Each structure stands twice: as structure tokens, then as C-alpha cells.
Structure 1
Amino acid sequence: MSHKRIPKRKAAIAAGSVAALGAAALLLPNANASQTDPSQGGTPKTFKAADVSDLAAQLASQLGDAFAGSYYNADKQQIVVNVVGDDSNVVNTIRKAGAVPNQVRNSTADLQAAARTLKAKATVPGTAWSVDPKTNEIRVTADSSVTGAKWDKVQSTVNSLGSGVATLKKSAGTFKTFVSGGDAIFAQANGGGVRCSLGFNVTASDGSPAFLTAGHCGVAAKQWSDSQNGQPIATVDQATFPGNGDFSLVKYDDPNTQAPSEVNAGNGQTVQITQAADAVVGQQVFRMGSTTGLHDGSVTGLDATVNFQSETNPGGVDTVTGLIQTNVCAEAGDSGGSLFTQDGSAIGLTSGGSGDCTAGGETFFQPVTTALKATGATLGLGGAGGGGGAGDQSASPGDQSASPGDQSASPGDQSASPGDQSGAGDQGATPGDQSGTGDQSGAGAGGAADPSGSDQSGQAQGGGAADGSSLSGH
């Protein structure tokens, strides 16, 4: 196919009409708690998930070491703030802000120290861990490939941390990167086809149109097309994987490309993306992918570390840190898809995970705020950034909850930028993961790269047909 210029071409790579009706219905406007200010006297206020980030950040600065994380109680629409110690002044400060104080045992420093121990002693392919503020523990997950001496090593390390510090559970599937997701993008690498998904359209620091995608996709191939055998329309500018994230910044080759800040939610619905926000544990989130369409779930952990088995170094490990853990399902081909809230906040890029949309599982995402800060890109009309918050959980306003409008998702967003998929690294690591290898596997982001050139993800290229093999998302 001859090279085609795309003056003013809309940079939204159709995500296909595979949205799940159940989740799509959730995109319709629905009641979302607006902050009310009940009479004083310590009565907890009701908040929108989007409010968590700012309030948590404020309290974190006021409480210092006593602050041990926060999360959103979606059922009661309340913000819960963990606190170490029984200082009445600290408790009163939290109550005065309208939040609910929750006394816990482990401080932020304690959990960080435990995570360092896990990194030093339990970095085994197929493992992952993240901070769960609801339980005030580190959640350690080992996929089905972790057996025998490897399982014993992980289990003994968790036990050595002491009671109430970390929990260990088995995952039925294996951690892999998902090859496509959201709108599909294609590349040729290592003699085979690679397929990833576009995450969110952005503006690069030099003002040129670009998109974010998974880092393992950007490492796998330099040039990307919006059709399987089409001419390249975008070139990788920056890529990180493995290491401190799984994200790529890919610039459109035509400076006149129109790259709308929206996500295609399927069924004719689009969600306008107005800001980037940090994930908050407990918040409702939506994921769009070209294989399984639109699905929703909640954030279950922050600052996750995923150890993928390296495909370039037999027996090696490709570790990715700083990911978001969720219970949103995904399957091969969903990699790189957009994670967002109903009110239009960009949260993450699909990385990898285990499970599928029938049995469930864990899925990891690259935080969008981190990718924006690292690449210098901005989202939408400008606000790049960071979400805010206090830390992990806190999330910036739109973050969490998803307010109705959120959903609107516009196509472009999802479009699958390769990186989006990234996540792989995060995920865990099973060989298929690709992950670690920079997705080099040919598989761009996801799944097992199929050197054959096919979609790699096992998915048929454009579509999303998920490769059962890869990923089992959840």
C-alpha cells in the first residue's frame, strides 16, 4: 500500500464494535455522590471518587508519618484515611476534613520496607505485589508457573515479614502482556507482525500530536500503522520497559494529524478525556480493548511490582514497578487499552495480567500520570499531569469514581497505542508475557508475540480476537 499522508486525519484508530453491553450501560449518566457538607461534629461527608486525591494529599501533608494511605469506600461514598497511632489530634484532623479515620498497624515506611525485602528475596518470574490500603498489607500474587522451590522461596519470604504485613495467594492463570487493546496499531518486528493498542492521544512537549502506549510495544518496534499492512503513520519517540514503568510516547508522522482526547467506548459512545488522574483504591474504573470491548471493575492495589519472565534471557526476569492493580478483566489483544473513569479521567494503560473475562483474574496498568511526567507530554487541552494525590491512592479528581459523563469515551483515546498495552511487564510475567523483553518478542505488546507475523498477540490482527494463549486477562 502506498504511503498515505493523513493531513488532518483523525488519529482515532477504530476500536471496533466489541464493547460489552453490560459495561457500556454503566457509561450512561447515573447518580454519583456529590460532596455534601453535613452539619459538623465529625459526621463523615460524602465524596465523589474524584475528590479523594486532593483531600488525601492535603491530609498526608498535615499528618506526616501518621498517615498510612487512604482509599475510597464506594458503597458509602466516603474517604477512609489510615492512621498509625492513637493521637487524638490526628483523628480530629481527619474527621474535621469529613473523612473517616481508620487506625492501622503498618505505617507507610513499614510497607515500603517489606516491599524492598520482597524485591531482594522474592523476585521470581510470575510474581507480583502491590499495596492494599484496605487491608493495610502488601498483597503478593504468584501465578500458576510459580511452583516447587520457587513457591517455597516466595512463601518463606512473605512469612519472614511477620504477621499482618503481607498476604500470599495463587493466581490460576499466568502473568502475560496483552497484545492489543482499545484501538489497534500494528508494526513489523523480528520478521513478524506486532499488534498493540493505543492508549490516549496526547500532545508532545514540542507541540506535535502523539499518543501513549505500552513501553514493551515501543521497545519492540519503532514505526506503527493503523492497519495491519499499512504504511507507518507514527514513530516511537521514547520507550520505557522494563524498569520504572511500561510506557511509550509515539509521535504521529504528520504534524497536522488531529488526535482527539477521547476514548471509543463502543456502541457509538465516546468518553471525552479531560484530565489525567492517579488511581485510588476502591474507585470504579473502565477498560476498553479491541478483543473484549468495554469492561469495568475497581482498583485493588497501588505501586505494584510485576516480575515477567524474560523472553530474551531464558530464566531471566523483567521487572516493572509502579503499576496499578485491578480486578478488571482483559484478554489477549486488549493490551495497551485505555483505563479511565466515567467522568473522563485517564488513569492507566493496559499492561498485562492473568485470567480472562470468563473466570476473572488480575490486570495491571501503567499509571498515565507517571507516563506524562516522564515524557513531558500533556493530555487533552493541556493538563498533563499528575494526578494527585496523596500517594497511591489518592486519586485525582476525576480519578476515581467515574462520574457519569466520564464515559463518554471517545475513540481516539483508546485507540490503541502500543504502549498502552504495555502493562505487560507489570503483569507478571509469564513467559508469554513478552513482557520483559521489550515485547520484542515480536509481539508487541501483548501477548505472546508471534513471530509469525500475525498479530502477534495471537489475535488476529485487527481485531481483537484474543489469542487465547496470551494473557488471560481477567
Structure 2
Amino acid sequence: MRFSMLTGVAVLAAALVLPPVPAQAVTVPEPGPDPSRAATAEQALQRDLGLTATEVRVRQAHEAAASVVERRLRAGLADRFAGAWFAPGEARLAVGVVNDADAAVVRAAGAVPVPVPRSERQLTATKDALDRAAHRAGKDVHTWYVDVAANTVVVSAAGRSAAERFVKAGAVDAGAVRVAVSEAPRTLYDIRGGDQYVINGNTLCSVGFSVNNGGFVTAGHCGGTGSPTLGYNNVSQGTFAGSSFPGNDYAWVRTNGNWTPRPWVNNYGGGSVPVAGSQEAVVGASICRSGRTTGWRCGVVQAKNVTVNYSGSLVHGLTQTSACAEGGDSGGAYITGDQAQGVTSGGAGNCSNGGHTFYQPLNEILSVYGLTLTTTGGGGGSRLIGWQDRCIDIPDGIPADGKRLRVWDCNTTPAQSWTFPGDGTVRAMGMCMDVAWGSTANGAAIQLANCSGNPAQQFVLSAAGDLVNPQSNKCVDVTSWGGNGTELQQWDCLGGANQKWRRG
């Protein structure tokens, strides 16, 4: 970390670690769903089930009708109903039947009858008997359930002997049970900036930002190298892989396989703010921070390269802000728009009477430990959805320097797939979003251009949904609130729906 000769004023401030309290006394809500929605439902089905776009549409149509057919047959066949399912590679619904007469009823309903020896009621009774014997399962028995397609009850366990002992303890027909060997299931959790974590079982801090190397960055004074951590839910989370304090105030927590890094920061308003990169904000820029004690608080960047004196422990190179913080907020995330800035180090004052805070700049932490930030940009693009739920679009799907951008019905083509690579640009089809001629005037065209590093190609998608060019300080705007095919311009940011964008 660099040492300042210009801003070496010693500032007495309190580090923001919450004093030791029983870890189980604090509960923080589990992180919500990924707001970036990197793939549409149709794209995900194509990707994960190996289907074409046409096959997805056909399958979804059959599935919509299947619920009605299944409900009708379940009621009509009553105790003889033997389950309904879609077989791999088949578009029509299959229904288990225990006699020929029921097969005719199933065919008349538009489904495919499959002869089976047991009704669903018989299989459920077997499963219920195993539920009653659950106390005999032991940790090596993992799951048990009815597999209607196989017309059996499946018991999965670490080994066959454990499963067979459980089946015997349940006093069920072994012929109705299939044993499977499986890995032990585990609960899975998300890593999100601003959420609480616990160090050494008794000290509370806040998560900074997720990193792709597995884990998250936070403040160094929260814990020393080797210190164990628990998550917001008091579940084992990881270990400090590196930590530096004083001099610096940064750390990296390497998490275990139960925790998944996510490009989000908790906004403590029931949602999450996406993280697209780590472009450093300038002095005077607005900035917000997230932490487990005081939630989401905002201010402005006041100074950089500040040397802070924490009661004799000097830390160099911090950034000072007017956003407040209190004990337990240490390590939490600072963000401007969707650009990650740093992790909370300390502060003076509080959120009742006002004060100021200091953060450890993020890019230095990433460099020191060789980490990469988890971002929404990832490796793939996403649509930019705005007014009337239409998307920013390259006309005709043909990229060309100077081609004006428009809004169009959202689709999954490359012409609507935009990436935020972290350098401030917004890109599609190998080219950059651009303000024509670098203009700062209202009404200047938003176009596609060859990427040049020009300030006209810098955009920030704010937490409020404004897509802003910092050079002009104006928003990407749907001209005259128009519909399909309407061209885009820049205009003073007025907060209208024709200036609001989201990734999806």
C-alpha cells in the first residue's frame, strides 16, 4: 500500500467491528434471487435440457396442458391412479395404469398409458412408512422418495448396506424399493456484499465483495489469517486466507463449497444492487455502503489517500466519505452505481448524529491477493430492458460504426446482448455504445461505434436504473416516449420511465 506525504493527517477513529456477542443472537435474512437474470427461461431450457427453441415451445405447450390432464385422471382413476410424468425425449404425458380398462381412459384423455404393478397410493404408503422410521435412518441415509416413472420408492444413501438397514427398519416391501448410492446433500448459500458474518464465533463484521477465486474480501481488522468464519445464518462458511492490519486494512476470506459468490450487494430494502465492475469513483462522487448494523447508507467521496490513526494503529491509503457507519459494519461494501469501490475500515461519529467513514479501496485488495471480482458482466451479455419492456437493440442485427441504437421487442439475439466489461464501456457485437460526436447536448444520438476509450463511450447503470454518460451527465433516453423502433438519445436525467433501464 502507498504512503501519503500529502494527506498524512492523523485521524482518530473507531474501527467498526461489533464487540463480541453470542453469534446465535443475530439473524439476517437469506440473500434473494439473482437480479441480473443472466438467461431467459427459454434460453435456460435450451442450455440445460439440450433443446432447440422449437422443442422448448412444443414442450412448454404440452406441459401447460399436462397439468389439466393429470388432475382429471387423478380424480377419475382415484386409488388406481399410478402417477403421471414426461419420459425423456417424449412430448406427450405418460400415466401409470394398473389394468387395461384404465389404459383406455388414459388414451381417451390424450396421454400415453404405461402398465405398472403398483398404484401411486401404494407407493406413497411405502414412503410414509419410511417417514415414520426416519429416526432409524442415520446420517448415511440421504433421501427417500416416490419415483412414479420407475414405479418404485427410491432410498439413496452413502452405501447399499445403510439403505438396506433403513428399509428393513421401516418394515416395508423391499420389492417396492430401489436403493441408490449418492453423495450426501448439503445446504447451499449465497455470498452477498453487506451481509453479516461471524469471526471466531463471537465477532461480527460485514461481507465486502464476492470474488471468483472463492470467497469474499473484507476488512483486515475483522480477523487474522486462519480465523474461521460463520455466515449470516451461523453455518460454517470459511477461513481468512489472508489479512493485513495495521498499515493496510484488507483481508480475503476463502469460503467452503456450501457458499456461492454472487455479484450483489444487499440494499437492506428487500433487494440487491448488482456489481458490474470496480471503476474507481472521483472525489465528490456519490457513494453508498452496506453493512449488517446500519444497512444501506450513502454520502459522497471526500478525500483519497488518507492516513488514519486508529488509537496508535496507522492505516495508509484509505478513502474518506460522508456516509455513516457503526460497529459491525466493518468490512462491508462501498459502491457507486454498479461499480464496487472498497470495504469499510472505520469512521468517526455515528448514524444518529452524523460522521464520516473510511474505506480500503477494492482494486488494491484484488491486486494483492490476485483475485477477480464477481460481476454481473461475467462472460456473457444481458439485455437492457426499459420503457414498455422493450430492449436496447442494434437495428437489423448488423453492427456498424455510427449506427443509431433503438428500442425493440426483446429477443435473444446478439443485437440485444450487452456486456459491462468493467472498463466503463457497454458493448455488443464487438462494438461500444457511444454518444455521437462526444456531444454533451440534449438530443445527441446514442449510437454504436468502434471502441476507442473516448469518454463518450463511458456509461454507468446506477442503482436507480439510470444509464448515465458521466461526460455529459445525461441519461440514455427513449425519444418522445416512443414505441417499437424508437431511436435513443441522451437527455437531462429526469427520472421518467423512458430513462429507466435494467439488466435481464
Highest relative contact order (Cα 8 Å, sep 6+), 1 or 2? 1
| TM-score, with length taken from structure 2 | 0.39
| TM-score, with length taken from structure 1 | 0.42
